[in-house]
Chain A
Amino acid sequence: MTKPRSWIERRLFALAVLALAISGLGQMPIFKRYYIADLPGLAWTADFYVTHLIHYLAAAVFLALVALRVGEALASRRVHLTRLQWTQAAVVAGLVLTGFIRVWKNLPGGGVTKGTGMVVDIGHLVLAMAWGGLALTGWIIRRRSTSRLAP
């Protein structure tokens, strides 16, 4: 049976997702426009090369942890996911795929066609928003079922 995740693993995963979300939003020119970058210590949020680097590093941690979980689940041959969790898994798979295409695009010898680039860029953004929505839905469902079980 799969052991519960350690505290450090769960925190590291949450930190990677948070860094991905912030640096991902930072790919849009909004932090400077909306004064976020004016806050002390947050000037880096308006530096697109810095947020780009953070996104890559956080993605590496995220991918390693996702692969760890997927690997353990596959090895145990006990994958019991709810419909919501399957949807989340599909969305994350889409995020990883579009993310890797973006990585390929940025390589010195890489590149994609104009149409592919647009679909991938917008797809990555939409999938990230969808994952956020699904995570929130899951959290609400868990909270409701916990309060129902409470004495």
Chain B
Amino acid sequence: MKKHVSRRQFLGGLGLLGVAGAASVLPAAPARAASSRSAELVTLLDLSKCVGCGACVQACKEANAARYPEPKKPFPPMLPKRVKAEDWSDQREVDDRLTPYTWLYVDHIAGQHDGQPFELHMPRRCMHCQNPPCANLCPWGSCSKDARGVVEIDPATCLGGAKCRDVCPWGIPQRQTGVGLYLDLLPRLAGNGVMYKCDRCTPRLDQGQLPACIEACPFEVQQIGPRQEMEAKARALAAEMPGYLYGLEENGGTNTIYVSPVPFEVLETARAKGQGRPHLAAVGDPFENQTLLAAALVTAPLAGLAGAALRTISRATREADHD
């Protein structure tokens, strides 16, 4: 007796093909509503106004002093020996680089441009990237970005592995050993403190206040506002100056835009280099292929389902022919 492909088997195969086909027309990576992106706040810094007085640095330290780490000493010994403690608790006054106690510093840059000497002062702190690698790649979810575009590290859950600093193109977050959750877990074997950086004075923002550095600046170097508005202002300012922009496209786009009368390549050459001193070189988007990869991940199971459907149909057909 000739055996037919059972309707159940055939429909099973077709059903899988249908699921695979229907799902393949779904958008692979739906973009988040533009409104949430436009709600992000951007800071615009006009470097032609900054005189390097340091009022912003002082205001930052005063506003955030209560949140600075108070490490327990001596630090627990860590294994292996290559893991070194990073302790800034006795150097809290350092203000020429980023530290766990200096979330903002002013880089004083002097040099020559177009045959003319220049001296510029550049407040440096977290750029608050639009698609921040520190928040995306933190293995514990301790680093996050909120709807206002603020990228913050939760000191209660950060283990101080410093991955955020490693993946940050500017190496912004700074570690303090001897504080945080790792002390209650496996202090010898995992973690090394807590990472600290600017979070735009989140407690102040939560109360509707401006970040301390913006409020304290006597020359109104910084402005803060919705992305679209700040972008337009930055471009207009650059055209008027004439000046150069940094931060708009860097690392896939940041929520900090600098406008400078001197090209940033020149500033990068002239600035003092070293750990805790973010560079000014161009930075590509580390996640530029992310949408493509996400599409591959959505497509892969559909391909698997299609394969299962074809296998089922072909097996059933073969069995029917055989009989």
Contact = CB atoms under 8 A, between A and B. Distances in A.
Contacts of A105: 136
Contacts of B162: 29
Contacts of B296: 56-57, 60
Contacts of B131: 106-108
Contacts of B1: none
Q: Assign chain B's interface to a size class.
A: 35 or more
Contacts of B25: none
Contacts of B30: 109
A71 B17 CA distance: 10
A105 B142 CA distance: 14
Contact of A122 (B82, B140, B145): B140
A108 B32 CA distance: 9
B37 interface: yes
Contacts of A74: 12, 16, 308
Contacts of B287: 106-108
Contacts of A68: 304-305, 307-308, 311
Given A33-B83, A56-B297, A76-B12, A48 B137 contact: yes
A95 to B, nearest CB: 13
B297 A75 contact: no
A118 B32 contact: no
Interface in A90-133: 100, 103-111, 113-114, 117-122, 125
A71 B23 CA distance: 14
B203 interface: no
B10 to A, nearest CB: 9
Interface string B151-179: 01010010001110011000000000000
A69 B167 CA distance: 37
A118 B305 CA distance: 31
Interface of A: 3, 27-30, 33-35, 48-49, 52-53, 56-57, 59-61, 63-72, 74-77, 100, 103-111, 113-114, 117-122, 125
26 contacts: A3-B315, A27-B137, A35-B82, A57-B293, A57-B296, A60-B297, A60-B299, A64-B303, A64-B307, A66-B301, A67-B307, A68-B305, A68-B311, A70-B308, A100-B297, A106-B136, A107-B290, A108-B287, A109-B29, A113-B144, A113-B146, A114-B141, A117-B135, A118-B141, A118-B157, A119-B141
